[in-house]
Amino acid sequence: MKIYAAKDYSDLSRKAANLISAQIIMKPDAVLGLATGSTPVGAYKQLIAWYEEGDLDFSRIRSVNLDEYKGLSGEHDQSYRYFMNHNLFNHVNIRKEDTNVPNGLAEDAEAECVRYNGVIAAMGGIDLQLLGIGGNGHIGFNEPSSVFEKGTHVVTLTEETRQSNARFFASIDEVPTHALTMGVGNIMSARKILLLASGEAKAKAVYDSCFGSVTPNVPASVLQLHSDVVVIADEAALTLVREKTDWKDGIYEV
């Protein structure tokens, strides 16, 4: 695991976009595993800007997103499909049919999870998986638990996650109670992983995930077992790491 320090959110976004661009340039038909949430928005904006300048070509890129709310259609403005279309896909030349998000409206959610695992396998796996992290260490919608779930599965959202996402909905009652998410196994099968963390609310999760025990209680801690993980965190998210280690500058290798 390599940890890169970013000065602030805009530095983090540029560094992340640089690594994603490198992947696109090195492998023009790469499979990108993508995330929603507030953290990657700046990186997506930077990628769009480089695309507009003619530096990036998404025409052969394929993508697979981590998760989707159960019960929301892709047209719902809080669905993750809507988020991806509006924050990235509509602004670059990726073919929509090459972008994948679990279908939140699938009548049989379990069957949709099986289908989604098949989609990832048929694409030959994920070249670069982008991740955000929850304050409790969740990745995708893999919440703290007693087990690591391997494949795509249906989860019951914790009250903490529903409350924290309620700001995007008219009321807490409208926040879905379930979601479909890639499992930890899907994420760990990616050839490279890029985890982004911004803000002090993530400081404990970053420290525990990078330096604590590997436990499903802190889902992101499993990333310590992957051989190619880059964490980019801004100084606010690194507060605890700075306090508890002697790391001053450069790249920290855990």
Residue from 15, 62, 70, 138 touching ligand F6R (CB under 6 A): that is 138
Q: Is 226 marked active-site? A: no
Residue from 2, 8, 38, 93 touching ligand F6R (CB under 6 A): that is 38
Q: Is 143 marked active-site? A: yes
Give 37 or 185: the residue with its C-beta nearer to ligand F6R.
Answer: 37
Q: Which of residues 170-229 bind ligand F6R (CB under 6 A)?
A: none
Distance in angstroms (rounded) separating the CA atoms of residues 177 and 77: 17
Residue from 24, 66, 88, 223 touching ligand F6R (CB under 6 A): that is 66
In what helix (H) or strand (E) does residue 99 lie, and over which residues does it extend? strand 99-100
Q: Looking at 36-44, 52-60, 105-113, 233-241, which segment touches ligand F6R (CB under 6 A)? A: 36-44
Sign of CA dihedral 156, 157, 160, 166: negative
Q: Are 80 and 41 in contact (CB under 8 A)?
A: no
67 sits near ligand F6R (criterion: CB under 6 A): yes
Q: Is 57 marked active-site? A: no
37 sits near ligand F6R (criterion: CB under 6 A): yes
**250: number of Cβ within 10 Å:** 9
Residue from 33, 42, 102, 132 touching ligand F6R (CB under 6 A): that is 132
Would you tell me the crossing angle of helices 41-52 and 80-87 to the nearest 10 degrees?
Answer: 40
Catalytic residue from among 65, 68, 127, 138: 138
Distance in angstroms (rounded) separating the CA atoms of residues 193 and 195: 6
In what helix (H) or strand (E) does residue 233 lie, and over which residues does it extend? strand 229-234
Q: What residues are paired with 2 via a beta bridge?
A: 230, 253
Q: Is 243 marked active-site? A: no
Distance in angstroms (rounded) separating the CA atoms of residues 43 and 6: 13
Beta carbon of residue 48, minimum distance to ligand F6R (angstroms, whole number): 18
Residue from 139, 203, 222, 223 touching ligand F6R (CB under 6 A): that is 139
Could you list the active site residues?
Answer: 67, 136, 138, 143
